[in-house]
Amino acid sequence: MSELKLGDKAPNFDAETSEGKINFYEYLGDSWGVLFSHPADYTPVCTTELGTVANYKKEFDKRDAKVLALSVDGVESHKDWIKDINETQNTTVNFPIIADEDRKVSNLYGMIHPKADDTLTVRSVFVIGPDKSIKLMITYPASTGRNFDEILRVIDSLQLTAYNKVATPANWKHGDEVVISPSVSNEDADKMFPKGYKTLKPYLRMTPQPELKK
């Protein structure tokens, strides 16, 4: 099983999908990426998840994040399943689903956990930056559907903190105050954060969310 860690380069791959053959890096281009796996086609929780992502597609687009799903079933199975997703979730699936019948991508990304199931993937999520490095990994059990509001929240945090010397506190959401990095001196903070900041402790300084810099 793969031992990928945060900061590692996301493995590239070629794969057949519900929208044709892709190369992962070419598909992402200079965008952020969200790769997420599903135990199998025609499973109830997965059906709701894929419908949710389709309905949230505009939110991912706003963040320049391309989504890509994966299941260990084949292309024709995916295409038939998409009809069910569209019907039951009142949506139109608008992103590719990888057909990983040989488990190549699943094994590259460590999506199969033998103690949970030795053939099906768990609910893995990988957020990948424009530099193709892994910025986030979350693993859910097969019985628990993912919270895609949380995944969007994390992407907001990753993008904000990648270009500003700040971190986001517990339960932060877009627009809330942020924490100034401890590596920034007070003198530099005065220049970098014109909206001002409050010092709760020397190591804990809060400031209004800065504009996103790229």
pLDDT at 120: 55
User: What is the C-alpha separation between 136 and 40, in angstroms, rounded?
Assistant: 23
Q: Residue 156 in 3-state DSSP?
A: helix
Q: How many contiguous H segments (helices) and E segments (strands) does the chain have? A: 7, 11
Which pTM was predicted? 0.90
CATH 3.40.30.10, the chain: domain bounds:
14-145
Per-residue pLDDT of the chain (214 residues; tens, 9 = 90+): 458 999 999 999 999 999 999 999 999 999 999 999 988 889 899 999 999 999 999 999 999 999 999 998 899 999 999 999 999 999 999 999 999 988 899 889 988 654 444 445 557 899 999 999 999 999 888 788 999 999 999 999 999 999 899 999 999 999 999 999 999 999 999 999 999 999 999 999 999 999 876 5
Which pLDDT does position 114 carry in this prediction? Answer: 46
Contact yes or no for 146/53 (Cβ under 8 A): no
pLDDT of residue 121: 57
For residue 3, the Cα-to-chain-centroid distance in whole angstroms is 18
Q: Please state, in angstroms and rounded to a whole number, the distance separating the CA atoms of residues 45 and 23.
A: 28
Interval 153-173: pLDDT, tens: 999 999 999 989 999 999 999
> Which fold would CATH assign to domain 164-207?
Antioxidant, Horf6; Chain A, domain 2 (3.30.1020)
Terminal CA-to-CA distance of the chain, rounded, Å? 35
Residues forming CATH 3.30.1020.10 domain(s) in the chain: 164-207
Place domain 14-145 in its CATH homologous superfamily.
Answer: Glutaredoxin (3.40.30.10)
In this prediction, residue 122 carries a pLDDT of: 59
Positive or negative: CA dihedral 22, 70, 25, 152: positive
> So which residues are the catalytic ones?
46
